[in-house]
Amino acid sequence: MSGLPGAALALARRDLMLALRRPGEALLPVLFLLTGTVLFPLGVGPGAETLARIGSGVIWVLALFAVTVGTDRLWAADLEDGSLEQLELGILPLELVALVRCLVHWLVTGLPLVVISPLLALLMQQPPAALVALPAALLLGTPVLVMIGAIGAALLVGSRRSQALTALLVLPLQIPALIFGVGAVEATTVGVGGTVAYLILGALLLGSLALAPFAIAAALRLALE
């Protein structure tokens, strides 16, 4: 057991280095979110009232798609080069491997979205309270989106059309995080308090941390049979 923390850190370091060697893929979610946020006002008009009313929902929808982009390849490379079998036979349980992989993917794709979200709130004419509420909601919600996307990617690993199928499979499961994420921001900005929505987001995060690694590991074992 003493070797598990070191092995987990080594796997996280390896995955993070591999992700950083492909900066284009790492920056794609951020560029997608920035581009969508900049272009959206051009489509609906620059009216401050309109943007303030729908801005948080738009940012959350764009964040959902930005995080989901790339999850279809989360396990594909490991399956293609045979390293997935080595991971299954390694010292780390496959459930812990799945948790580490999701954490690294969130650090690369989800955390940058949280960091730039105050800027996006300003672009969408959000009130000052949203500059804190939006990052807090995304900090709780984006890991949930990543882990649900990782489950879909594991279920469809090896499929030729995994990207489209993964999106169709996981988007309905990600809707609760989207609803309560938007609700938390809107409740905070109108002054009625978003505590309940934040607590539900926290519950979704804890549930995902507890259940998603086992679902991912089971799906990967099926793919290896």
Tokens of 71: 């999850």
Question: Count H helices, E strands: the chain?
Answer: 10, 0
Residue carrying structure tokens 């649900």: 148
pLDDT at 115: 92
pLDDT at 214: 94
Q: What is the pLDDT along the chain (225 residues), one digit of tens a residue?
A: 446 778 888 888 888 888 778 776 677 888 888 888 888 877 766 666 777 788 888 899 988 888 887 777 788 777 777 777 887 777 888 899 899 999 998 998 889 899 999 998 888 888 888 899 999 999 999 999 999 989 988 888 866 655 667 777 788 899 999 999 999 999 988 878 788 999 999 999 999 999 999 999 998 888 777
Residue 154: how many CA atoms within 13 Å on its side-chain side? 26
Q: Compute how many other C-beta atoms are within 10 angstroms of the C-beta atom of residue 86.
A: 10
Burial of 121 (0-12, 13-18, 19+ CB in 10 A): buried
pTM for the model stands at 0.88
Tokens of 223: 């793919």
Residue 169: how many CA atoms within 13 Å on its side-chain side? 18
Rounded Cα–Cα distance for residues 147 and 106 (Å): 9
Rounded Cα–Cα distance for residues 43 and 24 (Å): 27
Signed CA dihedral, 44, 45, 50, 56: sign only: positive
Rounded Cα–Cα distance for residues 180 and 224 (Å): 36
Contacts of 102 (CB under 8 A, 6+ apart): 143, 146, 147, 150, 212, 213, 216
Rounded Cα–Cα distance for residues 79 and 128 (Å): 46
Residue carrying structure tokens 């900066």: 23
pLDDT at 160: 61
Burial of 83 (0-12, 13-18, 19+ CB in 10 A): middle
Q: What are the two backbone dihedrals, phi and then psi, of residue 92, each rounded to the nearest 5 degrees? A: -80, 135
